[in-house]
Structures are given as structure tokens and as C-alpha cells.
Amino acid sequence: MSLPASSPTADEVLQVRPGKWTLTIVTLLRSEKLRFNELRRVTGGISQKTLTLTLRELERDGFVQRTMFATIPPRVDYELTELGRGLLELADSLRVFTLRNRAEIEEARRRYDAAGGEPAIQLIHPA
């Protein structure tokens, strides 16, 4: 089946670019709905702008559902969709990978920092 000429290519459709906070927010929404300010409070260092942009991207991609309530002040809840629950698998896999490879990652960071942020140069001479 081919896509109409005006349709995005498969590569364009599948471009999901998680930001720094994406998997953190998805993980926080694992078991409950949270309000914007609750999310901001539990994430700590995230700015209001970054949280807003991250939540909009997650909503646009179908990972998060936003529910607005007509109250004063307005109330907005965020929760994972079924698709978002699937993204939890990626978050959990990344966590397991990081824990399993923590020592190697920390050593690589020490080497990089000790070199002043410059990559080690390897000269390779053809045989």
C-alpha cells in the first residue's frame, strides 16, 4: 500500500524525539493522574516552559491524555494513554541498562572529564 503524495513518509511519522524529561514524566505518570504543578514539584529542576513543551509533545504523540476541568482556578490532569504505557517499557529498559552499566558509564565520564572534555585521539596508520 502506498501513501498519498501529501502524506508524511514512514520515517517522518516514526520520528519520536524524546527530550531530557520525557521518560521522567512518563515514569511519574505510571500509576496516577497528576496535575501540572504536581508534576513540576516532583520533577524538581524542570522549568514551567520545558514541562509545558514536554507535555504537549507527549500529548501530540498520543502518549499522554490531558483532561481539563471548568473550575476556578482551572484544573488540568495528565495521565498516560495505553500507548504511553507502552513507552514505560522503554523507560524501564533504559533504567535497567543504566544500572547494569553504571560503573562503565561513570568511568567513561571520568576519562572524558579528565581530558578536559576533549576526546582521546587515536592515530591509526594504515599497514
The predicted pLDDT at position 97 comes to 94
CATH number at residue 45: 1.10.10.10
C-alpha dist (Å) from residue 28 to 1, 21, 118: 39, 11, 35
Residue 105 lies in a domain: no
The predicted pLDDT at position 6 comes to 59
Residue 53 lies in a domain: yes
Residue with grid cell 508524511, as numbered in its chain: 8
| Strand order across the beta sheet in which 34-35 lies | 34-35, 75-80, 64-69
pLDDT category at 17 given cuts 50, 70, 90 is low
pLDDT category at 3 given cuts 50, 70, 90 is low
The predicted pLDDT at position 119 comes to 67
| Cell, residue 52 | 509545558
Each residue's pLDDT tens digit, 49-97:
999 999 999 999 999 999 999 999 888 999 999 999 998 988 899 889 9
Residue 58 lies in a domain: yes
Query: pLDDT higher for 90 or 18?
Result: 90
Q: From CA 99, how far away is CA 70, in angstroms rounded?
A: 43
Q: Please tell me the total count of domains within the chain.
A: 1
Q: From CA 25, how far away is CA 121, in angstroms rounded?
A: 38
Residue 63 lies in a domain: yes
Give the residue numbers spanning the domain of 84.
10-90
Residue 82 lies in a domain: yes
- pTM equals 0.70
The predicted pLDDT at position 94 comes to 87
Q: Is pLDDT of 15 > 60?
A: yes
